[in-house]
Each structure stands twice: as C-alpha cells, then as structure tokens.
Amino acid sequence: MHALRRAARRFMATGFYSHTDCLKHEMGQWHPECPGRLQAIEDQLIASRIDALIERDTAPPADEAALLRVHTQAHIDYIRSRAPSEGYAEIDPDTSMNPHSWQAALRAAGAAIAATDAVIEGRYDNAFCSVRPPGHHAEPARAMGFCFFNNVAIAARHALEVHGLARVAVVDFDVHHGNGTEAAFSGDSRVLMCSFFQHPFYPFSGADNQAPNMVNVPMPARSKGMDVREVVDLLWLPRLHAFKPEMIFVSAGFDAHREDDLGNMGLVEDDYAWLTGQIREVADRYAQGRIVSCLEGGYNLSALGRSVVAHVRALAGI
C-alpha cells in the first residue's frame, strides 16, 4: 500500500503560470532583465521534454485590493501614473517602464495570486510562475531593482488574509537580498523568511538588525553549492521545521548560477534541484505539499533556462 501511494505521488501536478503581457515589458535593448528571459525558459522546457508534463495556466491581472495587502495606495498610484504612452519612464537608474509595463506588473502579481488559489484549492500540488517583472526588491512604498510590485509578498499575504492560513514561509535564493520582502514581513510572526544572498552586494541590506522571523544569511562572493547546502542544513531547515509552515512561497532567482555575470556565486543546476527538493520535503511534511514559486533574477539566458527546468523538475517530481 505504501509503495502504491509513493508511486501515485511520484508525479505531482505542477501548474505553470505565464502571460504574453510579461513579454511586452522591456527597459531598453541594453537591459539584462529582458523578454528573452521568458523565451529562454520556454525553449529549455521544450528541449527537456517536460513541457507536456506540466499544467499551463494563464495569469490574470491582480486587482488593486490584492496589491494593497502589501503596497501603499500612494505607491500603486505612482506606478500607474508613471506608465508612459510611448518610450520609457525612469523609476530608478536600473528600473524603467514602457507602455506595457503596468499591465505586465499586474499579470506578474496576478499569476502569484492565481497560483496560490489553485494550490490551496487542490487543483495543483504546487506551481511555478514564469513572469516578469520580478518582485522581491519592491518595498511597500518603493519600486527598485527591476521590481514594481512584490509578487511573492502579495501572494503570501493573500494566503494569510484571504485563505486564512496561520503560518507561511518565504524562501528566497536569489543572489540579491530580497529587501522588499523583508520590509513587508519584518516582525510579522505569521511569516518566516529564509534567504541567502551575496554580501556585500546590491541592495546592500539584510545582514544587520534582522527581525526574529528573518533567517537571512549573507554569503561572500564566490560561494559555491556546497557552501549554500551547508547554510540550508544548519540554518534554514531547523527554523522551517520549528515553524511548520502551512504553505511555502519561493522567490526563485537563478542569478547565483556560476555563469551569471550579474552575481559572483557558484551554483549550478544540481544545486537548484537540491534546494527545491529540500523545500518540497518541508512542504510535504507540514504544508500538504503546497508551494508557489515565482521567477526573480537570472540573466544568463542559457543558465536561466536550464536552472528553471531543474527547479520545475524537482517541483513536479520528474
């Protein structure tokens, strides 16, 4: 009987959320956060022959009420007002909007919310949101670092306040510290955030004065996969097991890959598969397997596509 159950659970129903609007946002030919990132993921999904094994779904736009669970009204109004009718509007030196950015940002947040609904309702075991713009640098009242709205934070708050979950965890393995997510949840006992990030490095935060619900681990440049695995084993997993999350949200940045020039760490695809496996084990034990993962960084297109495939394979158990 146990063997049959294990066989039945071998392949998990993994949702895959995206939208063509996310391809229309771009910040100039020079910018590394480009539409080609999503196209590279699609190409690798097809090449790896797992495209047919995931369930595709369309990202709806987030409504204002959902954004307001994390962001201020002034911030939402400012981003809306900055959307240009043509050309680009600068938000910060690294972040700008084109005429499609507002809608893309709503789709990115909406994907995370829709995936959360689907996983909690049992339509999928877990889900990955292949969306852009990314979100984890967006603070409640400030857009920065390629991010306008904090997709993962919005989804986590949706799980807490709309679905009534008591405890959720956020796991962030981007090479950059998720300052926006920390700002949204610092001191909130319903949320445990676990991350590692290269330090000192943009956005030059996360290493000092952490709230009790933050397990954010600064790591030196050139840290490799075994260094990260040790951090996860010694620092993340004890806190996650003690917290017993009812759902896990992942800020899935792949710019800690050794081929990615925007960071200087040494992870490879096997490390992302291992990380995802550890997250799945915690989710299976305490959260009915419920995971929603959202794309953050990852700018070497080949490494990004291969790493997302490794992540999605591990989510789906294939």
Question: Is 136 designated active site?
Answer: no
Q: Could you identify the residue written with the tokens 């943009």?
A: 202
Kindly list the distances between the CA atom of residue 220 and the CA atoms of 49, 175, 198, 223, 247, in Å, as whole numbers in the listed order.
Answer: 36, 11, 6, 6, 30
Give the angle subtended at the CA of 193 by the CAs of 33 and 190, to the nearest 5°. 130
Q: Which residues contact 258 (CB under 8 A, 6 or more apart)?
A: 224, 265, 266, 267, 268, 303
Starting at the edge strand found earlier in the chain, the sheet holding 291-295 runs 55-58, 14-18, 126-129, 291-295, 248-252, 168-172, 191-198, 214-219
Q: Which residues contact 207 (CB under 8 A, 6 or more apart)?
A: 177, 199, 200, 216, 218
Candidate list 25, 136, 137, 257, residue with the active-site label: 137
Beta strands in the chain (DSSP E): 14-18, 55-58, 89-92, 95-97, 126-129, 168-172, 191-198, 214-219, 248-252, 291-295
As a 3-state breakdown, the chain gives helix, strand, coil percent values, each rounded to 5, of: 40, 20, 40
The tokens for 250 are: 């992942």
Strand-pairing partners, residue 267, are: 257
Cis peptide before 99 (omega within 30 of 0): no
Quick count: other Cβ atoms within 10 Å of Cβ 263?
A: 25
Classify 135 as helix, strand or coil. coil
Active site residues: 137
